[in-house]
Each structure stands twice: as structure tokens, then as C-alpha cells.
């Protein structure tokens, strides 16, 4: 620990004396990322944007950089960490809240990891509700029909959200906002979280009860060993017939094959998915002119009661600006040898 802190102080001293720029390599950077970060460029920082994702084959792009800035689908495994450290990268700056794609144990003693724990919970929660409304009121189908001047209402009957029971798994900032929105619709809100909060406007119940009694289940929990495939064949079998599942958190929270079976068996009434467990090689890219080999995803997309967006829930101007501001602040404080408050602790290796 002393060596790591000493090295940070040493590099900070060199930068002050030599007025060296902090070189930041952005991976999986899209045009909207560049637009959000460019206003923060100055004489002390150099932003290098790569549209490719970080992985073992691309880690060489971070050579001679001080910071690697990554997003949700970058693969920051132990081998990548080892190479980043060897290149002299001292900080891994996540421009997102989740960090399940980072081998934190491998970072111990090598690289500091920071994240953006909160940017706009409203963006994600509102997108979850937008998908739900679109699904239950058949708006996506009506839009396509009217484009062809088909104004028939046959097959477009939906149902009221008012009075329905929604179960929210995970009551962090996003989950709380989603609960508030649901309460505004007059829904009965149930919640499950290992760490209940007194400020949540919902009734906390056990996970089994939530799954059994909810008309709609919305996932807002982090991905970890306990929550991976929290929606699986067993939990789907326990749900109400016609239950709706919403996922704007992480794809691996749902067993996709089990979800597909539940839809085919008419057990699941609808699925609103902004994430998918095998999304890393697909989402954020245009494959419209290609054959996609993921049969499970292809079958999900063909289902008439599935709405899928490509990890879009965070994508608002407010959220992008907040992410950029927080990420830059994390980097600046680190280079000044100041705590950011957003460091992620390292688990012991097993």
C-alpha cells in the first residue's frame, strides 16, 4: 500500500514540475461520448478516443497513457490489468456505475479503480417505464401500422397499470425513482433488497413473495454472484401467468434461455429488455447488414411480446453530461493525489 501511494505522489510531483499532460485512453467511445467529454479538454489533459472495446487484443492502445477509461462491455480481466499496469496505467476510470466486467482482485496493488456511482437515475427509471407503457399499450405495433395507413385497432387492446402490482428488485437510486413513478400511476409497489431503505415508498417483502404476487417485475439490482440469473426457470415457474419482466440493469440477471422458454410457454406475458446477457459483442454497434449468430437473441427479437433496446436507458443529455463531469473529476482528483470518494475496494483473491 505504501508503494502504491508513494508512486502516486511521485508521479503527481513529476507532473507539477514538468507540466506533463495526463493522457487518457477512452475505449468503446461513441460520438456522444466524445461530445460530452470534449468540453473538458485542456492543456493538462489529452483525450484519446478509441471506438474499439478494451480486451486482451486491444490493450496495447493504452500504452504510454496514464488512465484507461472504460464502459460496461469492455473486458477488463486479469490479463488486461497486468498489461495496463505494465504500460504504466495507474487509474482505471469507469464511466458507469456497474463494475462486474472488471477483475477487481487483479487490480490490487496495481491500478486504482473509480466509477460513477450516480449520474441520472431518472434516465434509466424513465426508460424502464417507457418500455412498459409501450408494451402494455401496444404503441410499437400501432406506430408501425399507422405508417402503412392501417388505422385498425384490432389486436391493440392493452390494460391499465393503475391497481396492478409491480415488484422492484433492487432499491438503490434507480429503483427508488422507478417506484416513485409507479406510485404516480396508482400501482401497488413491492420491493426486495438485501439492504432495505426507510425512504422507499414501497412494501418490502421476501424475494419469493415478490415473484409470486407481482404482475410486473422490474430489475434494478447490481450483478454479482448472488444476483446472476436471479430470474431463471424456477423463478419464472413461480410467477403469475402473464407476468411482465423489465430489465434495465445487467443482462446476466436473467437466464435468457429460461426467459425464452417462459415466453413460448405463454407463462411470460411480455419482456422489456434494455440489456442482454451476451450483449458485449453486439450492443452499441450496427449489425443490420450482417447475420447475427446468437440464436437466442434472434428468437427473442422475433417474439411479438418482447421489446428490446440496446443498452439505451442511460442515454440522455443530462446523464451523459453528468457521467463526463464525474469521470473527469475522478481523474483530476486522482492526479492530485486526492480521494475521489468513488474508489472501488478490492476483494481478496480466493
Please report where in the chains the cell 409501450 appears, as a residue.
Answer: 134
Pair type for strands 112-114 and 91-94: parallel
CB 166 within 8 A of CB 183: no
Classify 324 as helix, strand or coil.
helix
Cβ neighbours of 335 (radius 10 Å): 21
State the sign of the Cα–Cα–Cα–Cα dihedral 107, 70, 51, 40: negative
CA 49, distance to chain mean position in Å, is 21
Interatomic CA distance for residues 267 and 239, integer angstroms: 8
A 10 A CB-CB count for 111 gives: 22
H or E, element range at 167: strand 165-169
Q: Does residue 289 sit in helix, strand or coil?
A: coil
156: enclosing H helix or E strand: none
Just list the catalytic residues.
250, 279, 311
Q: Is 214 exposed, middle or buried (0-12, 13-18, 19+ CB in 10 A)?
A: buried
C-alpha cell at 317: 443529455
Map grid coordinates 402494455 to a residue: 136
Q: Which residues pair with 49 in a beta bridge?
A: 26
Amino acid at each position: 500500500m505504501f508503494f502504491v501511494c508513494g508512486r502516486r505522489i511521485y508521479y503527481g510531483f513529476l507532473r507539477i514540475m514538468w507540466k506533463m499532460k495526463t493522457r487518457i485512453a477512452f475505449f468503446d467511445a461513441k460520438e456522444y461520448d466524445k461530445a460530452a467529454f470534449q468540453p473538458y479538454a485542456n492543456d493538462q489533459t489529452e483525450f484519446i478516443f478509441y471506438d474499439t472495446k478494451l480486451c486482451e487484443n486491444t490493450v496495447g492502445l493504452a500504452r504510454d497513457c496514464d488512465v484507461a477509461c472504460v464502459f460496461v462491455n469492455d473486458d477488463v480481466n486479469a490479463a488486461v490489468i497486468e498489461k495496463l499496469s505494465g504500460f504504466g496505467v495507474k487509474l482505471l476510470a469507469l464511466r458507469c456505475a456497474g463494475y462486474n466486467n472488471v477483475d477487481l482482485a487483479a487490480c490490487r496493488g496495481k491500478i486504482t479503480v473509480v466509477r460513477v456511482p450516480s449520474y441520472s437515475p431518472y434516465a434509466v427509471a424513465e426508460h424502464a417505464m417507457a418500455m412498459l407503457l409501450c408494451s402494455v399499450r401496444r404503441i410499437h405495433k400501432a406506430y408501425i401500422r399507422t405508417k402503412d395507413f392501417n388505422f385498425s385497432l384490432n389486436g391493440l387492446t392493452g390494460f391499465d397499470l393503475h391497481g396492478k402490482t409491480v415488484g422492484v428488485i433492487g432499491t438503490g437510486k434507480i429503483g427508488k425513482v422507478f417506484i416513485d413513478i409507479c406510485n404516480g400511476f396508482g400501482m401497488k409497489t413491492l420491493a426486495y433488497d438485501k439492504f432495505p431503505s426507510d425512504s422507499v415508498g414501497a412494501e418490502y417483502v421476501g424475494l419469493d413473495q415478490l415473484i409470486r404476487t407481482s404482475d410486473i417485475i422490474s430489475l434494478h439490482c447490481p450483478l454479482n454472484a448472488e444476483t446472476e440469473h436471479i430470474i431463471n426457470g424456477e423463478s419464472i415457474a413461480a410467477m403469475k401467468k402473464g407476468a411482465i419482466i423489465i430489465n434495465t440493469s445487467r443482462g446476466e440477471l436473467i437466464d435468457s434461455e429460461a426467459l425464452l422458454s417462459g415466453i413460448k410457454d405463454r407463462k411470460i406475458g411480455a419482456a422489456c429488455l434494455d440489456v442482454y446477457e451476451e450483449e458485449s459483442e453486439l450492443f452499441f454497434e450496427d449489425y443490420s447488414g450482417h447475420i447475427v449468430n446468437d440464436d437466442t437473441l434472434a428468437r427473442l427479437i422475433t417474439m411479438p411480446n418482447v421489446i428490446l433496446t440496446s443498452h439505451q436507458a442511460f442515454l440522455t443529455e443530462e446523464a451523459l453530461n453528468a457521467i463526463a463531469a464525474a469521470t473527469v473529476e475522478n481523474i483530476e482528483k486522482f492526479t492530485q493525489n486526492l480521494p475521489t470518494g468513488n474508489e472501488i475496494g478490492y476483494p481478496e483473491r480466493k
